[in-house]
């Protein structure tokens, strides 16, 4: 049985990707130590697909426990590696935990991929690797600037580790650089579960709208943009998920060895914070209680993707627009309130 190992499979993007992989005929297992996610995601995946997905509650920095997954599942032909800490602010407070967790787990997984011939390796990267880009929209060739946080540095270093491994060993690797994943599966069976007060824009919006938060702040309206607020490339999590299935199919069909390719996963549309809020208000009918506040340290003014390469080479096309992103995020928040 050809099996795909999804690490971080109980997480936001991991769970949505497992759904898409199953819907496209793949056999999937998950490895998630549940430190940043709940295994309730597995019930959601089963509700959508009818499939029970096995999760190995394993810390991937534990080499022996990681190898045991491969010993028990000899048919693993590919790995999609999501499992990592990803909070920018937390990475500044705890850099060594980020380097240890994000990099040790990656190295152990790559060693297992080589040893057990799981030759298709897809790495969860981020637009954060671009830092503050010299020009936008960014292509895969846009030079990377110094990472703005230890989190961003672990993604830059992770890309280098994957690239160097594929130079020496017969792996077919793909680096996927996500822009800003938002929204939830239309069924509301799975979605984003921020831990504590949400740092990201869309969960801050939906938690304020539902009353979990009294208000929220727009971090800066004095930037050199069309309305003064920052520009980002918000992309629906289901579009991100399907890109992983296409990347895996692309890798299997190409059947290359010693290869490493990079793809931007963004819509190509730059949206300001205020435009995102306006889109939410339009689809939800809720007047959002927000304040115009000061800039947030570490924020870059604007970034959005040139996604031509993924469109042309993976045959990928984004299905969800901004209003659907906001609507599914809002429906997910409302479903949480009923649980
Ligand atoms: C978007 C915009 C904020 C909250 C981060 C990571 C990135 C990726 C996505 C992992 C910014 C503004 C936010 C709020 C606001 N994560 N904002 N009020 O910072 O672009 O990217 O998350 O891969 O690596 O860096 O996303 O959603 O935090 O912020 O005004 O309450 O929304 O200032 O301009 P960001 P974000």
Question: Tokens in use for 304?
Answer: 């959005």
Determine the pLDDT at residue 8.
98
Cα–Cα–Cα angle for 121, 48, 70, rounded to 5 degrees: 30
Q: What is the pLDDT of residues 110-155, one digit of tens each?
A: 999 999 999 999 999 999 999 999 899 999 999 999 998 999 999 9
CATH 3.40.33.10 fits 201-232+268-305+319-338, yes or no: no
242 lines ligand 1 (CB under 6 A): no
201 lines ligand 1 (CB under 6 A): yes
190 lines ligand 1 (CB under 6 A): no
Tell the residue nearest (CA) to atom 26 of ligand 1: 200
For the chain, the structural domain boundaries read 3-182+235-265, 201-232+268-305+319-338
Q: Give 315: exposed, middle or buried? Use CB within 10 Å, 0-12, 13-18, 19+.
A: exposed
Q: In which band, very low, low, confident or very high, does the pLDDT at 27 lie, cut at 50, 70 and 90?
A: very high
The proportion of the chain whose per-residue pLDDT surpasses 90, expressed as a percent, equals: 97
For the cut 90, the answer to whether the pLDDT of residue 160 exceeds it is yes
Determine the pLDDT at residue 1.
65
Determine the pLDDT at residue 2.
80
128 lines ligand 1 (CB under 6 A): yes
Question: Tokens in use for 44?
Answer: 């959601």
CB of 229 closer than 8 Å to CB of 223? yes
Q: With a threshold of 0.75, does the pTM exceed it? A: yes
Question: Tokens in use for 233?
Answer: 């490339």
Residues 327 and 337: their CA atoms lie apart, in Å, by 15
Determine the pLDDT at residue 281.
98
**Residues annotated as part of the active site:** 151
Q: Taking the mean position of all CA atoms in its chain, how far away is CA 184?
A: 13
Cis before 137? omega within 30: yes
265 lines ligand 1 (CB under 6 A): no
Q: In which band, very low, low, confident or very high, does the pLDDT at 339 lie, cut at 50, 70 and 90?
A: confident
Query: DSSP letter string over 64-105?
Result: HHHHHHHHH-TTEEEEEE--S---HHHHHH-HHHHHIIIIIH
Residue among 159, 198, 200, 216 to mutate when testing ligand 1 (max atoms within 8 A of CB): 200
CB atoms within 10 A of CB 221: 17
CB of 130 closer than 8 Å to CB of 119? no
Distances from the Cα of 150 to the Cαs of 23, 92, 162, in angstroms? 35, 6, 18
Residue among 180, 181, 197, 302 to mutate when testing ligand 1 (max atoms within 8 A of CB): 180
Determine the pLDDT at residue 202.
98
CATH number of 3-182+235-265: 3.40.50.720
Q: What is the pLDDT of residues 226-285, one digit of tens each?
A: 999 999 999 999 999 999 999 999 999 999 999 999 999 999 999 999 999 999 999 999
Phi, psi of 325 (to 5 degrees): -60, -45
């Amino acid at each position: 049985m050809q099996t795909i190992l999804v690490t971080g499979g109980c997480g936001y993007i991991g769970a949505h990707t497992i759904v898409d992989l199953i819907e496209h005929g793949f056999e999937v297992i998950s490895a998630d130590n549940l430190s940043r996610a709940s295994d309730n995601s597995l019930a959601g995946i089963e509700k959508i697909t009818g499939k029970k997905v096995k999760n190995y509650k394993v810390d991937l920095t534990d080499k022996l426990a990681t190898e045991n997954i491969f010993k028990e599942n000899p048919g693993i032909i590919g790995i999609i590696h999501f499992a990592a800490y990803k909070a920018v602010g937390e990475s500044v407070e705890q850099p060594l935990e980020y380097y240890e967790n994000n990099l040790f787990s990656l190295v152990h997984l790559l060693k297992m991929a080589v040893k057990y011939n799981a030759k298709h390796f897809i790495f969860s990267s981020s637009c954060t690797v671009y830092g503050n880009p010299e020009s936008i929209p960014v292509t895969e060739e846009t030079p990377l600037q110094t990472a703005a946080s230890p989190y961003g540095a672990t993604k830059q270093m992770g890309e280098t580790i994957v690239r160097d491994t594929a130079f020496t060993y017969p792996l077919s690797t793909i680096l996927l650089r996500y822009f800003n994943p938002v929204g939830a599966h239309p069924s509301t069976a799975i979605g984003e579960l921020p831990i504590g007060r949400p740092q990201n824009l869309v969960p801050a919006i939906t938690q304020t709208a539902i009353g979990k938060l009294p208000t929220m702040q727009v971090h800066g309206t004095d930037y050199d943009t069309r309305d003064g607020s920052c520009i980002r490339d918000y992309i629906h999590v289901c579009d991100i998920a399907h890109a992983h299935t296409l990347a895996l199919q692309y890798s299997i069909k190409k059947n290359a060895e010693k290869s490493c390719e990079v793809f931007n996963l963004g819509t190509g549309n730059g949206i300001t914070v205020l435009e995102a809020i306006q889109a939410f208000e339009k689809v939800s009918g809720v007047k959002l209680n927000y304040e115009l506040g000061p800039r947030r340290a570490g924020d870059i003014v604007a970034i959005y993707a040139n996604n031509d390469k993924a469109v042309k080479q993976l045959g990928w096309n984004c299905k969800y627009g901004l209003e659907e992103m906001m609507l599914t995020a809002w429906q997910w928040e409302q479903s949480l309130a009923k649980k």
